[in-house]
Structures are given as structure tokens and as C-alpha cells.
Structure 1
Amino acid sequence: MTAPAGEWRLIREEARPGPTQMALDEVAAETASGGGPATVRTYRWDPTCLTLGYGQDPETVDWDACERAGVDVTRRRTGGGGIVHDSYGDVAYSIAVPAGDVPGDLLDAYHLLCEPILDAFARLGIDADYVEEAVPELYHPACYLRELHPAHDVVAAGRKVAGNAQYRTRDAVIQHGSLSFSVDAAAHLDAFADPPVDPETFRERVVGIDELADVDRAEAVAALEASLASWVEAGIEAEAEREGGPGDGPSDEGGSLDRDGSWTDAELERARDLVAERYRDDGWVRSRPGDR
């Protein structure tokens, strides 16, 4: 499989607060479904942020510990458990694309949109792939300690190195995820209320890129951005060849990729509105869907 053809933009790593990053993922989906370009992007969390899964119980969070440590807390639109994203240890990405351009089957859609993620690990010299069979959970509220699922959990050297999640609107699909560059197990666990897992056990489940390859964080980000761009361009070239027909050469109708893409002023304004309305709103962050 290759990326769907069309108009795309690559937005390179930007450091922003977590609520803004979640809002921008939503904005990218709105743009893709509204006739604008599809988006592949990398991003960085600044400051450290705990993102809760859509239906996660807020009582699983140690709110006082997060406040003392200066950890932002927001809630994703994707499911699963909480993840602590720090500015150094976490490399984040998202892909926003029209729903009609990707498979309707969830597993097929994951495998399509995870292609550039697996390729990024290969570029770094890391043998990473989906976990072969389910691994039992250690602590349900923490995403990295939940059951490992062959559909979307990526492991290397027997430990989880990346997680990916999707949500769909009627007209768009957004997939986002985290590649672990460096693991700070104690900081991760400190954000949760009384987790029955110690840092040593956490590290037995989760591994960082820095333990697997002799690369710095900037090199890891560059590999991910290169992989996202190549994935998109391969899909565009494949479509152009189909449109051109045998012997006719590629046509110019397969689409294009802006490798130095950016947000419009209108998108940034929309993101600010979503931050206020949702991603920093206590009614969204501190309550489960049925309680809102």
C-alpha cells in the first residue's frame, strides 16, 4: 500500500503546548475534509503534557503531582490510556486525510498509515514491527502498560517503542502517535494516581530509540519527516503513473507535496478557539464523556 494521492503538506516539527497540538490535529482533519491539503506532520510537546484517552477516568490522574511538576494535562479524541509526552523523550506525528481516501476497515487503515512509521525505524537501523501476539496489560490507565495489540502497537527488542491511535469524523481520518526516543519511567508513572508498577517494570515494557540506535533526537525526527514525505510522494507517483497509462509517462494529476508546509492564519485561529472550548476546558479534560 502507498499513501493516497492528492494535495499534501508536510509540517515539520513545531514545539507547542499539548492542548494546542491536539487542537491542530483536529484542525488538520477539518482542512483535509474541507477540500484543503491532507497533512503529515511531526510535533513536539512543550511543556511536558499528559494526554488522557477519550474515555479515561480523571481519578486515575495525580493532579497535584502534575501541577507540582509543571505537567500540562489535556484529553485526546482518541481512546486508550494516558501518555506522558516530554519535550525530549517523545517524538510525535499525525496524519490527517479525507476519509474516502483510506480503507474503511480499521486494521487496514492502521496498516496503511503506519507504513511511514515502520519505515522511519528502518531508516534509523532499528528492527521494529507490530507485536506478533497480544501481551497482557500491566496497568490499564497508562497507555504504554495496556495490553499490546498486534493492530497498532509497535515493538523493538521485545518492548514497545511506538503507539498509534485513530479517530474518524464523517469526512476525515486522523491518526496520531508517539515514538519513544528516550524513556523517563519515573516521570511517566508520577502522573498517575497510585500505579501498581515501578519504574523498573515500566522499562521492561517500554524502550527508547536512544537504547536501540546511536542517533540523537534531531536525527530521529529527520528520519520520521523523511519517511512521511517519501510515503506521500510514492503514492503521488503511483497515481500519476496510473493516470498516464502504459508508455505515456507519468501525468501531473497524481497530486503534490509541499515539503515546507505551514498553517494558515485561519487554521491557527481555529486552533486557539478549540483550545479554549475543549482542550483546556475542565469540562472536557476532567470528566469522562458520559459525565459531560
Structure 2
Amino acid sequence: MIIVDHVIGGAPVDHHARDLPRDAQPHLWWFTSSQGAIVLGSAQSPEVVDRAACERYELDVVARRSGGGLVLVGLDREIWLDVLLPSAHPLWVADISRASAWLGEAWRDALRDLGVVGDITVHEGPMGRNELSSLVCFAGRAPGEVFIDRSKAVGISQRRTREWVRFQCALSLRWEADVMAAAVADPSVTAERLAGLGTDLELDVSVVVDAVQWRITERLAAR
């Protein structure tokens, strides 16, 4: 059985704090946030963000338990999905460099199904790093993440326990380089440097949810 939950409204801090399930079934958690936030990866210091700028842009500052860099969420900036996989499931892979490959392929296939224009690919191989990737999620290339041409469409981070892996996925609908640059404390990180890192996609959210959910459940049920 695959358990699907749609959490409408609320704040990103509450979504990230949600407890892991107590059963042993795969879960899909779709989140829609009524509050904007800039979300730090688990290893990031709160000092990397400009608190005053975040207040001006009405962004909560939130820390997630999965790794990676800063992500802007909420107010229709992204489609947010958490996929929770129990360790007994056949798709569980202990190697974190390969663990999300199947999930990225599901997102890729769904975007192709929807007729999204561009070269839609899943990043394979080692982490692709640059001078911004440790700071901003969408500046790097992690295994399993999805790209349209040179822009990241789907960022994926992982939180792992002995019993679960929680994949946190964000499809970029509106990439706001100016807001991200303002929210970062380092003044050398400008909107020009961040331009084009994420995608801008005009898609019907409900149609995307249906397409992605079908492609994911197809893979979960096949194993």
C-alpha cells in the first residue's frame, strides 16, 4: 500500500518538523505552504542568511533535517513533495549516491509526459559542486536531481534513519534570483550570479501532482 497525504496551507517549519510514519509503507507527502520561507540545509549556519532582508520579504528562516543548501519555498514558488521509503522496500538503496536515481527518473518522465519543452535529464555520477553549491541548493548537481537544459528543475535532498529515507523534492515553478540574493548574507552573491539556476515553469499544479504521483507509484508498486 502507498499512503498519500496532501497538506494544504500551514508554515514550512511545521512541514519539515513532521514526524516519520510509524508503519512500514511508502508515503507521499504533498505540501502547499501559505507562508514563504528560506530553508537551510542541516549543516548550514543561520548566519548565512540576512535576517533583515528575510523580514522585508516576509520569509521565515527554517532549518530542515536533510542536507544541501538554501531553498526558497512557499507561495507557489515550488511543488513540494516528500517521498518516504521504508528500509524494507526493494527500492531502498544504502548508497546515497544512487538512492534517489529512481525518483529523479519518475520526475523526469512526468515532466516529459506533460510536454515540458527542453532537454530533461537526471544527473548521474558524483556531486557537481561549484563556488555557490554549498550555499544555494539549486547551484549544485546532486545524483537524481532533474535538469531542463542547464537549469535545475527538481532539487532532491535526503534524510536517512535506520528505518527510513525521506526524500525532499522541490520542483521550481518560479525562480526568484533577486529574492534569494537579498536573503543571502554574503553581498558577493548577486542576482546576476544566481540567474537561471532554477526553472520557471507555467504548469497546472494539480496536473503535475497527478503526473508525478502516477510515475512514482508505478515504480513503487513494480518492486
TM-score of Structure 1 vs Structure 2, range by shorter chain: 0.7 to 0.9
Instruction: Kindly indicate whether residue 99 of structure 2 is the aligned counterpart of residue 109 of structure 1.
Output: yes
1:92 positional shift? 0.7
Q: 1:41 to 1:225 in 2, by over 3 A?
A: farther
1:227 aligns to 2:212 (yes or no) = yes
Q: Is 1:82 matched up with 2:70? A: yes
Are 1:175 and 2:167 an aligned pair? yes
* 1:189 to partner: Cα distance: 1.6
Sequence identity (%)? 24
The letter of the residue matching 2:214 is A
For 2:214 and 2:17, locate their aligned partners in 1 and report how far apart those are by CA, in whole Å: 23
Q: 1:144 to 1:227 in 2, by over 3 A?
A: closer
The alpha carbon displacement at 1:143 in A equals 1.6
RMSD: 2.2
Aligned partner of 1:53 in structure 2 is 41
Could you say what secondary structure the match of 1:41 adopts? strand
Whole-angstrom distance in 2 between the partners of 1:36 and 1:235: 13
- For structure 2, the 5+ residue unaligned runs are none
Post-superposition CA distance 1:142-168 (Å, at most 9, x none): 2222x323x133211211122101111
Separation of aligned partners in 1, 2:133 and 2:53: 19
Per the TM alignment, residue 234 of structure 1 is displaced from its structure 2 partner at its CA by 5.1
Counterpart of 1:9, as a letter, is I
Give the unaligned 5+ runs of structure 1. Answer: 1-6, 240-292
Matches within 5 A, 1:1-292: 7-12=1-6, 14-24=8-18, 27=19, 30-31=20-21, 34-35=22-23, 37-101=25-89, 102-126=92-116, 127-131=119-123, 134=128, 136-138=130-132, 140-145=134-139, 147-149=140-142, 151-210=143-202, 215=203, 219-233=204-218, 235-236=220-221, 238=222
CA offset at residue 209 of structure 1?
1.8
User: Separation in 1 of the partners of 2:78 and 2:25?
Assistant: 26
Checking the alignment, whether the CA contact within 8 Å between 2:37 and 2:62 is kept in structure 1 is: yes
Cα separation, partners in 2 of 1:84 and 1:234, compared to 1, 3 Å:
closer
How has the CA–CA distance of structure 1 residues 87 and 235 changed in structure 2, closer, same or farther, with 3 Å as cutoff?
same
Deviations 1:202-249 (A, max 9, x none): 123222223xxxx3xxx244223332234314543x45xxxxxxxxxx
Return closer, same or farther for 1:234/1:183 CA change in 2, 3 Å cut-off.
Answer: closer
CA distance in 2, matches of 1:233, 1:17: 30
Corresponding position of 1:284? none
Q: Which has the larger radius of gyration?
A: 1
* Alpha-carbon spacing, 1:48–1:105, altered in 2? closer, same or farther (3 Å): same
Distance of 1:138 and 1:108 partners within structure 2: 23
Specify which structure has the higher proportion of helix. 1
Q: What TM-score do the two structures reach when normalised by structure 2?
A: 0.86
What secondary structure, in the 3-state scheme, does the structure 2 residue paired with 1:100 have? coil
**In 1: Cα distance, 2:16 partner to 2:50 partner:** 21
**How many residue pairs are counted as aligned between the two chains?**
217
Distance 1:233 1:70 in 2: 39
Q: Which runs of 4+ in 1 moved over 6 A?
A: none
| Preserved contact between residue 66 and residue 158 of structure 2 (Cα < 8 Å) | yes
Q: Note the C-alpha offset of 1:197.
A: 2.9
Higher relative contact order (CA 8 A, sep 6+): 1
